Amino acid sequence: MRKKLIVILWISLVVLVIAFCSLVIYQNKLADEKLKEQERIEAQQEAAALEEEEAEEETDEELPADEYTFTDLEATYFAQSDATVREEPYDTAEIIGTLSIDSRISVVGTCNETDYYKIKINGDYGYIAFDDVSEEYIDIPVPSATKAVPTATKDILFIGNSITFYPATSDWWGSGWGCGASSPAADYVHLTVAAKGYSSYDCMSLRAWEFSSTRNYELDDLDPYITNYQYSTIVIELGENVKGHETHFKEDLKDMITYIKSYNPNARIVMLDNFWKYSSIISTKKEVASEMGCTYVSLSDIQGVAEYQLQEGDQYTAPDGTVYTIGSFLAGHPNDAGYSAIAQHLISAL
């Protein structure tokens, strides 16, 4: 009897073990099937999302140009760094240009199908992404002063545009003096140096600064001068070419003076008035001169006076016998009388 009981117990134990193992196998099978089903669903969802995204991209790219619609908008924005201008208002459209940071952008519309603005550029239209523009100009910091204040000295530095210093070109007879003067001795720089008896001076062109939308990036052109010499006087003759580029001109002019003072803290800074009468630019220059403690030299009595300007169509015979006809570029620049008048005003102030 006892032996029979033991056999029954063993059989029961085996049955229980088999049942337990079967249950474990069944549960694992269910878990595997559930996992596979979940993976299948996720794969289907990913495929559907990818298909939808591709369909949207394809719709944007393949939409005929005349089917894009726009909401009219008149606004002026500023380009972010290296803003891309495209031929059509979508991300893979052909690139027709790039705009440097702080370039002024005239926006005429907002695309209703994509995140793009319609803009005017070079007399035509282009398209630029919302993320590539800013409503406010981006403040470009003044370069940090990385050198010590120079100890070598010079009397005066002239910083200007073509009226101060212009290289040799086919447009005129000169090479490296005030554009339109008959000779170096006739421009305002050399007349001033001679009248004041300065023994050492420099003059340089910062004309590119006037046109630039990122003027502070041009300030390192001053380094060969202000980081090597301590000047008693620094004359700034800039502004004639700022017309049409007046955005944040005041801030940039103040930044220039700040940068100059970082290396030439004791220099007397003289702001020379515009030779051409652009009222808003002149007003800004006067404000900056007052705020930054600069001497302002007015040229109001000679601005726009024909007898002080080269006239288009006039002829000039250079010392080598070459005859130059004054073209549209030279016209309006000071003639010898104009340079003499500028020098007289500056000499009086110095």
pTM: 0.71
Q: Where are the alpha helices (DSSP H) in 63-198?
A: 188-196
Burial class (CB in 10 A: 0-12, 13-18, 19+), 210: buried
Which is the CATH superfamily of the domain at 70-134? Answer: SH3 Domains (2.30.30.40)
**Same-fold call for 70-134 versus 153-349:** no
Question: Is residue 57's pLDDT more than 80?
Answer: no
Specify the pairing of strand 153-160 against strand 230-237: parallel
Averaged pLDDT of the chain: 87
What pLDDT does 201 receive? 98
The rounded distance, in Å, linking the Cα atoms of 125 and 114 is 16
**CATH architecture, range 153-349:** 3-Layer(aba) Sandwich (3.40)
Where along the chain do its domains lie? 70-134, 153-349
341 or 146, higher pLDDT: 341
Per residue in 203-236, pLDDT tens?
999 999 999 888 999 999 999 999 999 999 999 9
CA–CA gap between residue 30 and residue 25 (Å, rounded): 9
Average pLDDT of span 5-32? 61
